[in-house]
Amino acid sequence: MGGRGMRTVRAMVYVLAAGVSAVLASGARAEPSFNVSRLTCERVQAEVRAIGAAVLRFQTSDRTKRNYDRYVADARFCDGGQTAVLATVPTADRDDCPVRVCESRS
């Protein structure tokens, strides 16, 4: 490979390394996602407890409200400066299944 080819390969390696660094620095997580509209409350709670954190999607009648969020088993799964607080999601058997979501400490 000539000089120009090596410069191209080096540039590609630098770009790839920068991209990987950016993802790691952002704290990106690959967490499972569940549509809870067809799951029981007990099953949703058990899944979150077993995994530690998951994105739960659900149906809402209010179209202005976001219909998904990241829910956690407890505060260990929150970022620094956050704590786990009680929230609810609608499941197949309950309109208000208790779960926890991370919020900034006030």
Report the largest interatomic distance among the alpha carbons of the chain, rounded to a whole angstrom.
66
Look at the block and give the residue holding tokens 């929150």.
78
pTM score: 0.67
**Higher pLDDT, residue 5 or 38:** 38
Q: Rounded to whole angstroms, how far apart are CA atoms 15 and 27? A: 19
Dihedral of the CA atoms 76, 103, 86, 28 (nearest 10)?
-50
Is residue 1's pLDDT more than 70?
Answer: no
Q: Rounded to whole angstroms, how far apart are CA atoms 58 and 91? A: 8
What is the total residue count of the chain?
A: 106
Rounded to a whole number of angstroms, the distance between the first and last alpha carbons of the chain is: 58
Q: What is the pLDDT of residues 38-49, one digit of tens each?
A: 999 999 999 999
Is residue 25's pLDDT more than 80?
Answer: no
Q: What is the pLDDT of residues 49-97, one digit of tens each?
A: 999 999 999 877 776 666 899 999 999 999 999 999 999 999 999 999 9
Tokens (6 digits) for 4 = 């120009």
